[in-house]
């Protein structure tokens, strides 16, 4: 029978080896990563933070993996929680790849937003961090499902407000205040995700908003539409414009028969010329992106079939809309549920077991990570694919 120290050493070795492998994989993916995080307390009152990454791989399969499952000492202040999350992102070198962050419904999370965004490089986020909001956790897996479900909640709340029972009215009013608070924060991103669903596009946004906003319907619809274009322009700039302008300018420099660095006046002239070329290229690419989104929106809606696979559609047909495809890959990967990290404690979804409570917190993290990786191998899953928590 092996000793406790030998078993611990083997687990830590597995953890170290596999973590290195997954670290390298995350560094190679060419998409953004949506983050979910929440806090749990074990039976002996130790606080743990679980951070999970969600993304769509090159085969257009939605993947998610635990990035951090670590002990956080009390008190769990805004600064402590934000620092723990930022540390996890930087530890995996994905702080510049984050698209959104989803947290559980905790009173400290609202105050954590500003503190968190001050520490993260928002200039590398879509629209310089304007889209990287923090959402309250729900039960639905991706952003395109979220829009419809939240609308259904709104309909029910409106029905309850018509109840003759004043107690029900008061209860509903309290719920509506919370609903409106979170809806105002995330309705634009939910609308963008709905637009990227071939069954709905702008039609679902128009239909739902007419029932929610009444007088301000047109303004809210235009707001979602404009954000679609703004986000697409942002992707165009980040992925294409720089390379195109650089290659154009580089080609011009290579055709010169003299050394431009030997003449100050020529340098100054070329600097101004380069700005002119970049402005022309930017205008042309903006028009191209506008036409790309317009063409997509003009195509007929797909039927609402039960076996509809939105990711497979973008994988096959996305070549017709290359920039929009990149935007869809990141947007549809957004996971608006924080329940995945609860599953990290046990397969039954309960808090961390009493047996694991006795382990050192670094060993607990290694055990939880290693358990998932070994489970994948036992079930003949590819070692290069990330484990799914559900």
pLDDT in tens, 135-159: 444 334 556 777 888 888 888 998 9
Chosen domain end from 290, 311, 332: 332
Chosen domain end from 332, 352, 379: 332
Q: 90, 26 in Cβ contact below 8 A?
A: no
The pLDDT tens digits for 179-233 are 888 788 788 888 999 999 999 999 999 999 998 888 889 999 999 999 999 999 8
Tokens, residue 23? 């670290």
Regarding whether 283 and 376 lie in a shared domain, the answer is no
Q: 193, 146 in Cβ contact below 8 A?
A: yes
Measure the CA–CA gap between 121 and 119, rounded to whole angstroms: 7
Count CB neighbours of 215 within 10 A. Answer: 6
Regarding whether 189 and 310 lie in a shared domain, the answer is yes
Across the chain, mean pLDDT equals 75
Regarding whether 223 and 181 lie in a shared domain, the answer is yes
Preceding omega of 75 cis (within 30 degrees of 0): yes
Range of the domain at 191: 143-256+264-332
In the structure, what pLDDT confidence band is assigned to residue 242 with cuts at 50, 70 and 90?
A: very low
Regarding whether 351 and 223 lie in a shared domain, the answer is no
Measure the CA–CA gap between 232 and 326, rounded to whole angstroms: 9
Whether the pLDDT of residue 291 is over 80: the answer is yes
Which residues 6+ apart lie within 8 Å of 84 measured at CB? 49, 68, 70, 72
Burial class (CB in 10 A: 0-12, 13-18, 19+), 209: buried
Regarding whether 148 and 13 lie in a shared domain, the answer is no
Q: 369, 70 in Cβ contact below 8 A?
A: no
Regarding whether 96 and 205 lie in a shared domain, the answer is no
Rama region for 28: left / alpha / beta (φ>0; ψ in -120 to 50; rest): alpha
* Residue that is written with structure tokens 């986000």 in the block: 231
Burial class (CB in 10 A: 0-12, 13-18, 19+), 154: middle
Chosen domain end from 312, 332, 352: 332
Regarding whether 123 and 5 lie in a shared domain, the answer is yes
Measure the CA–CA gap between 235 and 292, rounded to whole angstroms: 13
Regarding whether 188 and 133 lie in a shared domain, the answer is no
Distance separating the N- and C-terminal Cα atoms of the chain: 34
Q: 66, 389 in Cβ contact below 8 A?
A: yes
Counting the structural domains of the chain, the total is: 2
pTM for the full predicted model:
0.72
pLDDT of res. 390: 35
Regarding whether 304 and 171 lie in a shared domain, the answer is yes
* Residue that is written with structure tokens 């235009």 in the block: 222
Which residues 6+ apart lie within 8 Å of 389 measured at CB? 52, 64, 66, 340, 343, 344, 372
In the structure, what pLDDT confidence band is assigned to residue 324 with cuts at 50, 70 and 90?
A: very high
Regarding whether 163 and 203 lie in a shared domain, the answer is yes
Regarding whether 165 and 126 lie in a shared domain, the answer is no
3-state secondary structure of 314: helix
Tokens, residue 261? 């660095």
pLDDT of res. 213: 87
Q: 72, 90 in Cβ contact below 8 A?
A: no
Whether the pLDDT of residue 108 is over 90: the answer is no
* Residue that is written with structure tokens 């969600």 in the block: 54
Regarding whether 117 and 41 lie in a shared domain, the answer is yes
Higher pLDDT, 279 or 46: 46
């Amino acid at each position: 029978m092996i000793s406790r120290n030998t078993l611990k050493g083997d687990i830590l070795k597995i953890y170290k080896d596999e973590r290195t492998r997954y670290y390298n994989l995350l560094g190679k993916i060419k998409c953004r990563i949506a983050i979910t995080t929440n806090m749990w307390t074990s039976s002996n009152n130790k606080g743990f933070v679980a951070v999970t990454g969600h993304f769509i791989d090159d085969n257009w399969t939605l993947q998610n993996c635990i990035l951090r499952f670590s002990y956080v000492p009390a008190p769990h202040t805004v600064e402590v929680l934000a620092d723990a999350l930022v540390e996890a992102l930087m530890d995996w070198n994905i702080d510049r790849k984050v698209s959104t962050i989803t947290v559980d419904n905790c009173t400290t999370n609202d105050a954590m937003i500003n503190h968190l965004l001050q520490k993260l490089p928002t200039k590398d986020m879509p629209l310089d961090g304007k889209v990287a909001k923090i959402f309250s956790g729900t039960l639905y897996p991706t952003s395109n499902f979220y829009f419809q479900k939240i609308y259904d909640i709104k309909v029910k709340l409106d029905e309850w407000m018509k109840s003759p029972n004043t107690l029900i009215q008061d209860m509903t009013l309290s719920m509506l205040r919370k609903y409106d608070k979170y809806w105002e924060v995330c309705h634009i991103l939910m609308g963008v995700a709905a637009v990227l669903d071939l069954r709905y596009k702008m039609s679902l946004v128009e239909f739902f908003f007419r029932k929610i906003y009444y007088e301000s319907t047109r303004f809210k619809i235009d707001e979602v539409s404009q954000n679609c274009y703004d986000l697409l322009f942002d992707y165009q700039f980040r992925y294409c414009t720089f390379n195109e302008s650089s290659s154009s300018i580089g080609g011009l420099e290579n055709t010169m028969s003299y050394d431009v660095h030997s003449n100050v006046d020529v340098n100054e002239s070329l600097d101004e010329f380069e700005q002119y070329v970049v402005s022309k290229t930017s205008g042309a690419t903006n028009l191209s992106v506008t036409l790309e989104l317009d063409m997509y929106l003009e195509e007929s809606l797909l039927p609402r079939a039960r076996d509809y696979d939105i990711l497979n559609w973008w994988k096959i047909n996305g070549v017709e809309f290359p920039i929009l495809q990149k935007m869809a890959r990141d947007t549809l990967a957004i996971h608006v549920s924080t329940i995945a990290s609860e599953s990290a404690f046990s397969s039954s979804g309960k808090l961390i077991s009493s047996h694991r409570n006795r382990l050192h917190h670094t060993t607990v993290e290694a055990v939880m990570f290693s358990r998932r990786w070994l489970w994948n191998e036992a079930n003949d899953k590819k070692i290069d694919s990330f484990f799914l928590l559900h």
